[in-house]
Amino acid sequence: MLISTLYHNINADKYSNKYDIFEKHLIYIKNNFNIVVPNDNLKGDDICLTFDDAFFNFYVYVFPLLKKHKIKAILSVPAKFILETTTHQKQDRLNILHDDTYENINKAPFCTFKELQEMVDSGFVIVASHSYSHTNLKTQNNLVDELDKSKDILEKRLGIICDSFVFPFGKYDDIVVKEAKKRYKWLFRIGNGLNRDFDGIDGLIYRINADNLKDKKDIFSFKNMLKYRLKSWLKSTQGKFFAN
């Protein structure tokens, strides 16, 4: 079984977790699971941690915890909104409300390329593409540009191979998936389901929403895990049924 978790913010106003609960959550995961990223060997009780959007609070709060506890994670980045560097103060950047993010790009609410490079160089952060402009790809006439530009920018600027893609808003259709698979090896979606491995279900890796945690093992309760297993079984069965 491969679990993949989805997080957005820490100590923010929306789609967020409180710092103290989140650290306890990470420690619980480290003590109970084999933490992996694509290309790692799977052992059976595996988990892949993913963070969407590359908000600055990831650099401030999450990155130090990853280093402290020696944990790897995937960070999906919308390349269009990443500044090279910034002179804006830390607290000013952290204080930008989630819904005001895209109106304040010049104030660096996202990690800068300088910060991303530091995290990549640490070995604890693996950068994935989150499209170029974090848009609903189902409605885009420039789908190819959204997929290509992000990959090209991230690879050239950070000196990496960007082979993971995270669908913005979890929105996609058959055309989007087909084009994404031409460019990326691993595709992450939302959906609160479990995976057997990094092949996911029909080539898509399901992720469990882990924002707004109530306690360190909230999402791992028997009730929740049963729900995730049922979702995965239904999706797998549905795929086989329509294939026949």
- The candidate with the shortest Cα–Cα distance to 93, out of 54, 120, 134, 56, is 56
Residues 6+ apart with CB under 8 A from 98: 9, 12, 13, 14, 15, 16
Residue 236 banded pLDDT, cuts 50, 70, 90: confident
The average pLDDT across 81-86 equals 98
Q: Report how many domains make up the chain.
A: 1
pLDDT (0 to 100) of residue 159: 98
pLDDT (0 to 100) of residue 133: 97
The average pLDDT across 16-20 equals 98
The DSSP symbol for 32 reads H
CATH number for 154: 3.20.20.370
Under a CB-based contact definition with an 8 Å cutoff, are residues 86 and 40 in contact?
A: no
Q: What percent of the chain has pLDDT over 70?
A: 98
Residue 237 banded pLDDT, cuts 50, 70, 90: confident
**Domain range for 135:** 2-243
On the question of pLDDT at 241 being above 80, the answer is no
The average pLDDT across 97-114 equals 97
- The pTM for the full model equals 0.95
